[in-house]
Structure 1
């Protein structure tokens, strides 16, 4: 603790010293008449580095054209495009209990949240992070991976306290973030194009990852429906 305090103190002191030094240098240059030259030089540098608004508009228009082309046909654009079936955004009126599962690396996270609409917004939320063993990430099978995930999710659901309320007759809903290249088939289905981030389970490639998770949750005795699949995977489709 002592070392931490000393370290923070040293950093703060260094920042103060640097600030004072800059102020002194600025005052000295003003007194010598050099500060005006520095300001002019900086302004000239800023103007030369600025991108003209017309050029920025050209770039934006070109990207828009490429995005439309990519959505119109597979391989029709220089940009890597994958269709998303999300057709609207949250309004803030949402109420009830919802679950989320985020798989995107050596760990995955599960979360539950109680939404209270615009008045109460997020009433309560809880998160749990689970490490995935190396032997499950690579060289295993689809069943091994998704059974591991479903078991951890079932254990998390089992700890649901009285602060979370599921309306009678309503099934628990899950949002599934799968951060790997996926070709979505609907709002709640998509086939894996390829693995990244150290994962290597061949029998999952080309399969519907939501379907695999649903089968694993059924084997775990977990009554949860995947309501939406979200694939966030930048720089991974080559």
Structure 2
């Protein structure tokens, strides 16, 4: 029995090693990919210099958007700030107490937009749900956190508002640090498309401000960023003395994206110094493996207009 178990384990390890070899790029492939990516970055900078926020896919596969964030934090900032983090079916309201020296404490509230009380099949993600309903959910989530932290009572007593940053992780055209228009929904969201209360094409900072004011939530929208830029800012704040500078951020989640600090951003027409790549569109020199080919060949596709995959019929 023990011998058979060892033989099975050896066979499984051999099969796994085959997969590892198949999915591990060689040094030559990585070098080629890096060189290609750097060329694509330069193409994107030149595209932005010529066309501004307009994306020209034939010139660059990435959108290379302006974050309008002027500089990274020093880590010495102090005070209480709020954030509303929205990039998928779950929205978070976050309270950050910045203590200086790269230290912070965090409290948060969450709500799932797919399962939150709503008359629509996909909750607030549904095409029949209105944008006002969606953004009201954000404001309600933030309100609960203000109550639980004790900040609501303080704000009402002192007649003041606390700053809030809005992490909005969908393709947007950023015209100012606190102004950003949604280009198009991704990740399964269709909110407003059949309700007459649209979000696409609207300034999401203005929509959030309207919801906060409507529900008397004492928060003032100071900035809109995507999750990649937010990650870079957070890590830069918490960077320990003597550690390397934090200049690049990468998100691997529901979607894929990256941003970086561009030293010559103004030369290429950017307001901010951080460039949001929208790197999920990158399609140059990416190597295919046998697994990629099998998945591509065996997917059942429907609705060519959206390119949505229903199901995969392969199994390991």
Greater relative contact order (Cα 8 A, min sep 6): structure 1 or 2? 2
Pairwise same-fold verdict (TM > 0.5): yes
1:92–1:184 CA distance, 2 compared to 1 (3 A)? same
Cα offset, 1:204, TM superposition = 0.8
Cα offset, 1:125, TM superposition = 1.5
1:191–1:78 CA distance, 2 compared to 1 (3 A)? same
Matched with 1:218 is 213
Asked if structure 1 preserves the Cα contact closer than 8 Å seen for 2:169 and 2:226, the reply is yes
So what's the TM-score if we normalise by structure 1? 0.69
Matched with 2:200 is 205
Stretches of structure 2 lacking an aligned partner (at least 5 in a row): 1-5, 14-24, 117-121, 228-254, 258-279, 283-305, 307-316
Q: 2:174 aligns with which of 179, 184, 191?
A: 184
Cα offset, 1:51, TM superposition = 2.1
Cα offset, 1:211, TM superposition = 0.3
Q: State which drifts further: 91-100 or 81-90.
A: 81-90
Q: Distance between the aligned counterparts of 1:141 and 1:169, measured in 2?
A: 31
Cα offset, 1:171, TM superposition = 3.0
Stretches of structure 1 lacking an aligned partner (at least 5 in a row): 1-13, 22-47
* 1:10-49 matches, cutoff 5 A: 49=26
Matched with 2:75 is 92
Secondary structure at 1:129's aligned position in 2? Answer: strand
So what's the TM-score if we normalise by structure 2? 0.53
Q: Distance between the aligned counterparts of 2:42 and 2:88, measured in 1?
A: 33
Cα offset, 1:106, TM superposition = 1.3
Matched with 1:129 is 110
Asked if structure 2 preserves the Cα contact closer than 8 Å seen for 1:66 and 1:79, the reply is no
- Provide the aligned C-alpha RMSD in A: 3.3
Secondary structure at 2:173's aligned position in 1? Answer: strand
The superposition leaves residues 47-82 of structure 1 with CA deviations (integer Å, 9 ceiling, x where unpaired) of x94229985674354133212123212234323222
Q: Does 1:75 align with 2:55?
A: yes
Instruction: Pick the structure with greater CA Rg.
Output: 1
Equivalent pairs counted in the alignment come to: 193
Q: Distance between the aligned counterparts of 1:179 and 1:53, measured in 2?
A: 28
Matched with 1:142 is 131
Asked if structure 2 preserves the Cα contact closer than 8 Å seen for 1:70 and 1:80, the reply is no
Q: Does 1:195 align with 2:172?
A: no
Cα offset, 1:128, TM superposition = 1.6
